Amino acid sequence: MIVAIDGPAGSGKSSLSRALAKSTDFVYLDTGAMYRALTLYCLENGINVHSQSSVEQAAQDIDVRFGDAVASEDPELGQNVFLNGKEVTRDIRTSQIDENVSIVALYPGVRSAMVARQRSFANQRNIIAEGRDIGTAVFPEAEIKIFLSADAQQRALRRTIEREGGDPTKPGAAVKDEQLYEKIYADMLQRDAIDEERTESPLKPASDAIHLDTTHLTLDQAVDKVRSLIIQKTASL
Ligand code: DC
């Protein structure tokens, strides 16, 4: 079975997907990490992210692999990610990567290379895949499709707390650095616009996706909702 979890940055995809994978026998797939790893490769190797042909070539050249299905207790780090054999789990979560990743993810040759890897990762397993185009382009046949949303300020708050080493799913978690919050908020709006407006697999709900607004939901509430959908679906197959 495939569970597709799509939505914008900070909507709670990663926390939800990780928690679901932990409490079921589903394997977690963080597709954003693949685009992030490619972005890191470009930045480290002097490849101009605005040069479509160079970035598309890089997408063919790199080797991106995942380690354990759920690797880390750190809320921002989902899976151990390896780029050409080197662990980059933490290196792909920086503002510099945030600023460039949506550009890299625009190119059709990048998307086709990543989608091929994502499909081969699934390989008949039960997976929870999170991203932007999972229900529309990567696994349109997914048995369950969830589209998460949350208001932009709430999403930026969550992302800032994570980046400061906190856990936004814990009660009382708060932002320490207001300037960082402002930067993350502005970058997030810019990234949302690029992701939503691109012609190739834009961020949009699949027609058969279930919408879940997480602005006022705790992680446990979101997990319970999706877990009951999985249980219902499994019973009906
Ligand atoms: O989920 P994330 O923040 O790690 O994703 C990083 C970027 O990668 C996001 O801005 C858009 C892109 N992305 C994508 O285009 N398609 C996906 N399936 C996942 C991520």
Q: What is the per-residue pLDDT across 31-87, written as a single tens digit (0 to 9) for each?
A: 999 999 999 999 999 999 999 999 999 999 999 998 764 545 555 556 789 999 999
Residues 6+ apart with CB under 8 A from 84: 41, 62, 63
Contact 58, 47 (CB under 8 A): yes
210-213: strand order across its sheet: 27-30, 127-131, 2-6, 144-149, 210-213
Residues in the chain: 237
Query: Does residue 131 register a pLDDT over 80?
Result: yes
CB atoms within 10 A of CB 123: 8
Nearest CA to ligand 1 atom 11: 102
- Give the model confidence (pLDDT) of 74-127 as tens digits: 555 567 899 999 999 989 999 899 999 999 999 999 999 999 999 999 888 899
User: What is the amino acid identity at position 69?
Assistant: A
Nearest CA to ligand 1 atom 2: 32
* Any atom of ligand 1 within 6 Å of the Cβ of 38: no
Best of 35, 127, 195 for a ligand 1 pocket test (most atoms within 8 Å of beta carbon): 35
* Any atom of ligand 1 within 6 Å of the Cβ of 98: no
* Any atom of ligand 1 within 6 Å of the Cβ of 195: yes
Query: Does residue 193 register a pLDDT over 60?
Result: yes
Write out the E strands in the chain: 2-6, 27-30, 64-66, 81-83, 86-87, 127-131, 144-149, 210-213
Cα(29) to centroid(ligand 1), Å: 12
- What's the sign of the alpha-carbon dihedral 182, 90, 99, 139? negative
